A and B are shown apart, each in its own frame.
Chain A
Amino acid sequence: MKMSMAALAMLGLIFVFSTGCKPKGVQSAVGGNSAVKSFVPPGKYDEFYNFVSGGFSGQMAVYGLPSGRLFRVIPVFSVDPEKGYGYSEESKPMLNTSHGFVPWDDLHHPALSVTDGIHDGRWAFGNANNTPRIARLDLKTFRTAEILEIPNSGGNHSSPFITENTEYVVAGTRFSLPMGDKLDVPINTYKENFRGTVSFISVDQPTGRMNIAFQILLPGINFDLARAGKGKSHGWFFFSCYNAERANTLLEVNASQMDKDFIMAVNWKKAEEYVKAGKAMKKSVRYAHNVYDEAAHMATSKIETEVLVLDPKDCPDMVYFMPCPKSPHGCDTDPSGEYIVGSGKLAALIPVFSFTKIQEAITAKNFDGDYEGIPVLKYDAVLHGEVKKPGLGPLHTEFDDKGNAYTSFFVSSEIVKWRISDLQVLDRVPTYYSIGHLCVPGGPTKKPWGKYVIAYNKITKDRYLPTGPELTQSAQLYSIDGEKMQLILDFPTIGEPHYAEAIPAELIMKNSTKIYKLEENKNPYVALGEKEAKVVRKGNEIHVYMTSIRSHFTPDNIEGIKLGDVVYFHVTNLEQDWDVPHGFAVKGANNAELLIMPGETQTLLWKPERVGVYPMYCTDFCSALHQEMQGYIRVSPAGANVPLTFSTGEQAKAAQ
């Protein structure tokens, strides 16, 4: 009896030691005092900005770490009535494509600009998965500055990963497609007629302007994720590939036939040389290139018609395949640039490739035949080693500053910490549930901040109050500065959180734009002061040059608009004070409101369809007299002889 009691006591101790402060059940998220680690007192700033994909919301969300507080939702590929994005005349061109105006997309992966492989706080990039595009966000303004459509692409998934000095952003096609002149082909001729591409988009320093430098034409397989080399592997890019079977139906079975798919290694320095040497073919295509001008407060959209394409058969030593077990997903380069971690979604191990061995295998032509003319390197020749029995369903890997890797496991819902040098598993923590991506601040760079790892989960059951059949998306924050990972916070997220990156706050906040200077406003419809407020008729177009300031519009009464007129409200916010935007809304307008930043001009298009007097008002609380910030617009029948006049607080003036 005594013995068994002692044994029980030992068991208790072992249990306590092995679990530490980790929650025993799903209900107790945070044990002991660990929540203190995520507490940022009122009036204090967070340590990191976390840029998180909004997934099917088409937006990017910005959270503070370690608090998990939501600071901003940046509209990128979807219209956003809160900010008038995609509704104002100035922002509509941002969502133009070769298919016309596309109001929605699916943003998967944020990527932050780097210099010498370290976050520099200039830009964030994001991919549109559905109608392939890459966006560049300006981190001074937290706004989308540029969107570039990608031709010859379908399902722009392996993007927008970037090279060591933001020389290139890549965009790899998930769906291979028929291209060129032969577009109308039977789907079951996939193997003959479908091709894949990866695009290298150059980024101009320091403006950030993007341009498709070249595309590489590839066999019709699916490109999933990618990472640039860095340090010793600078000049190379790695892409995970699945469906080496080139199936075109029921891929969950038909693309899992082979034991191994590939990680593709591209020598992009070599590709640059081939482009310079004239090896690229000019292909006729159509794609939109949209740029937002911060001085004019206005976007323009241009349709481009040509792209340069490199074919590996004309360009030896540019592309190689490496066998990688069972439908690789994540393809992550460690901070030194030596190791490339593949994650076979269906594999029971994690293969880690060595850049040095890849170079040796290429020199020795240590090939295992070729795939559609592209050399396949021998698996054993390029392998650093395999992490054995790490868990089920490895997806993505991030790194800390101590030579450790953190891999997310979708099926077994956990994060596993392992050491890169000897591939030993060191620690594991549960996630709630079905983790996809994960993020260590600075994790994809040469200089990770090994303080936190954040899990972005696919399923949230039993974490939060129920909200009907759909629950909030969620993230979980773990402290990793000790030996053991420790859960310190759950926080809800927007859309589906795919990838995310986190960057020290001081790299961003010191450059944050507070106002737009009125003196620098170059919008053609600006009213620089109330004296310039006016109403102008041009045929059936009415242009209202309107100003807003706490707490009135000028003009706030307009008469003489007739049915059939098309009214453009060009509203200039005369404020020069941080965080004092004004809104503008008109009853019955078939779009959204405007939200106009201090010193900015934005335009709302309104087509009145009934005779009457229409109220308008400011939608963003601006002062104690915000409610008084309103006005009226009178709309008369088409043939009426009401003169066009406008006023604020005095006699109405005749329009021009």
Chain B
Amino acid sequence: MKNTILNVIGIICVSIMLLQCKGGVKEDQPTVDFAELQKGQPEVHGTEVKDAEIVMNTPLNQEWVKGGENIYNLKCLACHKLTEDKLVGPGWKGVTKKRSPSWIINMIINVDMMLEKDPEAQKLLEQCLVRMPNQNVSKEESLQLLEFMRKNDGEM
């Protein structure tokens, strides 16, 4: 008899506790819009660029060549030689003959997408073992770099 009553008490207690606790749980974690929060940030990730969007100057735009060289000296020279020799990344000699303009531009401004999707970019990562960093180069600046690469490959 005593045991039965104690059991009943126990069951009542446990069920009340469960009920109260369940009532206390809320699924109200706020949703933070990360895309919104990224706006106006100095770190730039470009969107995918297609060949058709890229204007190829002939003869070369010499202002762009000069601008591209300045960006190269500041942000690229540490890892890329202008010869065919690999340093941290591949040498630049011949790159404009081997790769499409959009491939080069996307590698500069949209490197995360390239390393995720592009088999050639993935092969290079296997060889170099250092992810090409996002150096916060704008689309306009990347076109100047392309012009500088074309000059490096002998175009006029």
- The answer to whether A and B interact is yes
- CB of B42 within 8 A of CB of A624, answer no
Is A402 close to B, CB under 8 A? no
Is A286 close to B, CB under 8 A? no
- CB of A21 within 8 A of CB of B17, answer yes
A5 to B30, CA, bound (A): 48
Cβ proximity bits A475-511 to B, threshold 8 Å, 1 near / 0 not: 0000101100010000000000000000001100110
Contact of B25 among A36, A554, A578 (CB under 8 A): A36
Least CB distance, B84 to chain A, in whole angstroms: 16
> In the assembled complex, which residues on chain B have CB atoms less than 8 Å from the CB atom of A517?
42, 136
A40 to B32, CA, bound (A): 13
Contact of B42 among A20, A514, A547 (CB under 8 A): A514
A32 to B25, CA, bound (A): 10
- CB of B16 within 8 A of CB of A16, answer yes
Dominant secondary structure at the A interface:
loop
Is B78 close to A, CB under 8 A? yes
Surface stretch bound by A, among B56-64, B97-105, B127-135: B127-135
Contact of A506 among B1, B5, B37, B74 (CB under 8 A): B37
Contact of A21 among B21, B131, B134 (CB under 8 A): B21
> In the assembled complex, which residues on chain A have CB atoms less than 8 Å from the CB atom of B130?
550-551, 623-625
Q: Using known A-B contacts A576-B133, A577-B133, determine if residue A551 contacts B88 with beta carbons closer than 8 Å.
A: yes
Is B54 close to A, CB under 8 A? no
> In the assembled complex, which residues on chain A have CB atoms less than 8 Å from the CB atom of B21?
21, 31-34
- CB of A17 within 8 A of CB of B77, answer no
Which residues 601-656 in A have Cβ within 8 Å of B in the complex?
A: 623-625, 649
Beta-carbon nearest neighbor of A11 in chain B: B9
A512 to B32, CA, bound (A): 15
Number of interface residues of B (CB under 8 A): 44
A33 to B32, CA, bound (A): 24
Least CB distance, B85 to chain A, in whole angstroms: 10
How many pairs of A and B residues are in contact by the CB < 8 Å rule? 135
Beta-carbon nearest neighbor of A549 in chain B: B78
Least CB distance, B68 to chain A, in whole angstroms: 13
- Contact size range, A: 35 or more
Surface stretch bound by B, among A261-269, A438-446, A526-534: A526-534
Q: Which of B13, B78, B136 has the most CB of A within 10 A?
A: B78
Q: Using known A-B contacts A32-B18, A528-B74, A551-B88, determine if residue A44 contacts B29 with beta carbons closer than 8 Å.
A: yes
Q: List residues of A whose CB falls within 8 A of some B CB.
A: 5, 8-9, 12-13, 15-17, 20-21, 31-34, 36-37, 40, 44-45, 47, 479, 481-482, 486, 505-506, 509-510, 512-515, 517-519, 528-531, 547, 549-552, 554, 574-578, 580, 623-625, 649
Q: List residues of B whose CB falls within 8 A of some A CB.
A: 1-2, 5-6, 8-9, 12-13, 16-18, 20-22, 24-26, 29-30, 32, 34, 36-37, 39-43, 73-75, 77-79, 87-88, 129-131, 133-137
